[in-house]
Chain A
Amino acid sequence: MQLSRELMLRAYRQMKVIREFEERLHAEIQTGEIAGFTHLYSGQEAVAVGVCEHLTHDDYIISTHRGHGHCIAKGCDVKGMMQEIYGRAGGLCKGKGGSMHIADVDKGMLGANGIVGAGAPIAVGAGISAKLDGKGGVSIAFSGDGACNQGTTFEAMNMAVVLKAPVIFLFENNHYSEHTGVDYAVGTAGDIASRAEAFGMKVWRGNGCDFFETFELMREVIEYCRAGNGPAAVELDTERFFGHFEGDPQRYRGKGELDRIREERDCLTNFRAKVTGAKLLEAADLDALDAEVLTLIDEAVAEARAAPRPSADNVLTDVYVNY
């Protein structure tokens, strides 16, 4: 299906926001100003955006430790996210969660998550709720190729099938769980989709570095789930451009691997080549978005750095609704 100019511009912009957010964090983390563990999503942008461009606030997603991209794609406020990562009082979660726990439940973003494999069962619950609400909402669990090995993920897949819940198990196969290769850790020779299929659901596979392919595939998957067919699983092949976490020496990578994946599998470069090659968009359109996004991220960082830090008494708030 030919995408509208507006949609293409928006998708490019979203992917670019994620990319610049992450590349900038990569640089800012070197300054030592950002505390904690940060896992960057650079390289996987086409997945988050290719999925979330189909969703509304009535649809749910749950994310992982590598959550910034999913948050941005689902509409979380970029400046509030930056403040959260800087541990500021004005952060999206008041500095209490940090990079691994950014959430905006009102937007259907049920949180990044520090526990690998925790997301899939939670997504089933959100799927049950969406089914009860009867508005055609779906629930999407983003999981990595590592998370697919947790029993929680298996249980969630079976339960979603049994309950015919509108849940999409979205596996981002970036070939690594921390420092371990997918072929070693996933017993089906690295094939995640076939495992999901064995649970009794329909599965799709695609190139997660290609926005157009991911977007079209997700249109089908989401229509299928919205129509009440029960759960589905999707395995998207993608790349992470940085280390597992910031500070990872990445000695497990092959020689030239990082250069090669940035050269051949960059979803933004590929998007640009495709749309300008086919004369769907002008390079100048994209350049203008690039500049706008850079300004946004510059502002987000400057504002986060200047923002007030939480005061000590905030430790005690938000534990309960009332107590």
Chain B
Amino acid sequence: MATMQLREAINLTLHQEMERDPNVICLGEDLVGGMGTAGGPEAIGGIWKTTAGLYAKFGADRVIDTPISESAIIGAAAGAALAGKRPVAELMFADFIGVCLDQIWNQMAKFRYMFGGKTTCPAVIRVAYGAGRNAGPQHSQAAYAMMTAIPGLKVVIPSTPAEAKGLLASAIRDDDPVLFFEPKALYATRGEVPEEEYLIPFGHARSVREGEHATIVTCGQLVGTAEKAADTLAKEGIGCDLLDLRTTSPLDEEAILDSVETTGRLIVVDENPPRCGLAADIAGLVANKAFAALRAPIQLVTPPHTPVPFAPELEQAYMPSTAKIEAAVRAALNYR
């Protein structure tokens, strides 16, 4: 075990996977940082420092610093994956999915189905997502709910450094296209991480806290927020069963339903706006498959149906918080 930042855990995984499999290639903007400058390659080492050192070790053919051309980057990842490589493409912000949506939605997500199951498209798209850095409406979106809605894509959202490592390794080895959402507000958070290789399978939620009174389902950076809420409530004798989904596609339905069968109360915490979002999706699942177990209305803790605002006070009001999660748990418990 070593203590490392989430960004370092990602960096270590990229090193290990590139070392392990010569078909793994990385591409993205400023991935190397310093190309064509006096400072030279690796002068910066990636805007989030997640790709530092890769170029020096694996060279320009496998660590590809691209112009600002998201459609071409993601399209190239799709093509390289069809042609036998395992590309790991980086979008600096999840919001830039908007620039290259065709390549994700109409191309890589559909190849296998359209081609009658005759091909695979093992591409990973790493994106930095989420609010909390006052980056404004075009640099703060969560966007994983939108991607979860697309058949053919797998969607992964790590919540800690150790989770990031095991999930990214699985994503790179997976034969389907994977959207890998890195919580950018957590890049610098530290945690214990096993240095050796390990894989965390998709579709298996992580039990973060066990409790019998209410189920809290969430993912990504909100796992930490929910953990704090659960710990506060635990001091009052309210036990929360906290699930970190890890992957929203595939979704661990069983873990959610099992927990709700015990607690009878569900709180879904999601960073996407509420309409057609993850919270509504999971609420629908539970209403459909565990209706009889419910003892209170399902509580949805999401931002409002608005873009992400810039000003710190507004962004705080926008985001799900420990206070909002606690209030939702209490509302469920106080119902009848």
Taking the closest CB of chain A, its distance from the CB of B26, in whole angstroms, is 15
Binds A, one of B29-37, B166-174, B198-206: B29-37
User: Chain B residues with Cβ under 8 A from A88's Cβ?
Assistant: 311
A180 touches B311 (CB 8 A): no
Interface presence of B137 (CB below 8 A): yes
Known: A37-B139, A251-B43. A179 touches B37 (CB 8 A): yes
* Listed A/B pairs (28) with beta-carbon separation below 8 Å: A35-B312, A37-B133, A37-B136, A96-B309, A96-B314, A100-B136, A101-B138, A114-B137, A149-B69, A176-B37, A179-B30, A179-B33, A179-B34, A180-B37, A180-B65, A181-B35, A183-B36, A184-B65, A251-B34, A251-B44, A252-B37, A252-B38, A254-B39, A310-B313, A311-B313, A315-B304, A315-B306, A315-B318
B36 touches A182 (CB 8 A): yes
Interface presence of B47 (CB below 8 A): yes
B68 touches A95 (CB 8 A): no
A36-B133, A150-B68, A252-B34 known, 14 other contacts, Cβ within 8 Å: A35-B311, A36-B136, A37-B133, A91-B311, A95-B314, A96-B309, A114-B95, A115-B95, A117-B68, A146-B67, A179-B30, A310-B311, A312-B317, A316-B306
Q: Which residues of B contact A (CB under 8 A)?
A: 29-30, 33-40, 43-44, 47, 65, 67-72, 95-96, 98-99, 133-139, 304-307, 309-314, 316-318
Interface presence of A309 (CB below 8 A): yes
Name the residue on B nearest A255 (C-beta): B38
Name the residue on B nearest A313 (C-beta): B317
B139 touches A114 (CB 8 A): yes
B69 touches A252 (CB 8 A): no
Known: A37-B135, A37-B139, A150-B69. A95 touches B310 (CB 8 A): yes
B306 touches A181 (CB 8 A): no
B33 touches A35 (CB 8 A): no
Taking the closest CB of chain B, its distance from the CB of A165, in whole angstroms, is 23
Q: Which of A182, A185, A253, A311 has the most C-beta atoms of chain B within 10 angstroms of its own C-beta?
A: A185
Known: A147-B68, A179-B34, A184-B36. A314 touches B137 (CB 8 A): no
Within 8 A of B (CB), among A142-193: 146-147, 149-152, 176-187
Taking the closest CB of chain A, its distance from the CB of B157, in whole angstroms, is 23
Name the residue on A nearest B96 (C-beta): A115
**How many residues in A have their beta carbons less than 8 Å from beta carbons of B?**
52
B67 touches A185 (CB 8 A): yes
A-B contact count (CB 8 A): 162
B39 touches A253 (CB 8 A): yes
User: Chain B residues with Cβ under 8 A from A251's Cβ?
Assistant: 34, 39, 43-44
Q: Which of A96, A97, A177 has the most C-beta atoms of chain B within 10 angstroms of its own C-beta?
A: A96
State in angstroms the CA–CA spacing of A274 and B306 once bound together: 51
B310 touches A181 (CB 8 A): no
User: Chain B residues with Cβ under 8 A from A36's Cβ?
Assistant: 133-136, 310
Known: A97-B136, A180-B35, A253-B37. A149 touches B67 (CB 8 A): yes
User: Chain A residues with Cβ under 8 A from B133's Cβ?
Assistant: 36-37
Known: A114-B139, A149-B67, A252-B43. A98 touches B36 (CB 8 A): no
Taking the closest CB of chain B, its distance from the CB of A255, in whole angstroms, is 7
Within 8 A of B (CB), among A79-116: 87-88, 91, 95-101, 113-116
User: Chain A residues with Cβ under 8 A from B36's Cβ?
Assistant: 180-185
User: Chain B residues with Cβ under 8 A from A183's Cβ?
Assistant: 36
User: Chain A residues with Cβ under 8 A from B313's Cβ?
Assistant: 87, 95, 309-312
Interface presence of A259 (CB below 8 A): no
Taking the closest CB of chain B, its distance from the CB of A35, in whole angstroms, is 4
B311 touches A95 (CB 8 A): yes
Partner of B312, one of A87, A152, A249: A87
State in angstroms the CA–CA spacing of A99 and B135 once bound together: 9
A312 touches B37 (CB 8 A): no
Interface presence of A257 (CB below 8 A): yes
State in angstroms the CA–CA spacing of A251 and B33 once bound together: 9
Interface presence of A288 (CB below 8 A): no
User: Chain A residues with Cβ under 8 A from B68's Cβ?
Assistant: 116-117, 146-147, 149-150, 177, 185
Name the residue on B nearest A176 (C-beta): B37
State in angstroms the CA–CA spacing of A276 and B114 once bound together: 71
Known: A150-B68, A184-B65. A114 touches B37 (CB 8 A): no
Name the residue on A nearest B34 (C-beta): A252
Name the residue on A nearest B303 (C-beta): A315
Those 7 A-B pairs whose CB atoms lie nearest each other, nearest first? A184-B36, A181-B36, A254-B38, A98-B310, A87-B311, A95-B311, A114-B138
